[in-house]
Amino acid sequence: MVRKIVHLRWKHRLGPVQIADRLGMRASTVHAVLVRCRLNRLTHVDRATGEPIRRYEHEGPGDLIHVDVKKLGRVPDGGG
């Protein structure tokens, strides 16, 4: 039953009431399963893939630096 609940949450983005109606269960039970699986909020699930969002956390500021190296223009090597 847990697998069915998680599948409906990921693939169809349904709430506890809709999942409970489809499976013939109580909404409170479905909600408890979603909390246990950390899928109780749709903001915790990626909209495009339906997978749980994984975030990077580091101890101090500046520990994780993003560097964008995409070349947007036709600037010759050495500058323009």
List the Cα angle 15/39/37 in 5-degree steps.
125
How many residues does the structure list for the chain?
80
For 30, what's the count of Cα atoms within 13 Å in the CB-facing half-sphere?
Answer: 21
Record the pTM. Answer: 0.56
Per-residue pLDDT of the chain in tens (80 residues, 90 and over written 9):
999 999 988 888 888 999 999 999 999 999 999 999 888 887 766 666 666 667 767 777 777 776 666 666 676 777 65
Q: Are 42 and 13 in contact (CB under 8 A)?
A: yes
Nearest alpha-carbon partner for 46 in 73, 16, 9: 9
A 10 A CB-CB count for 37 gives 14
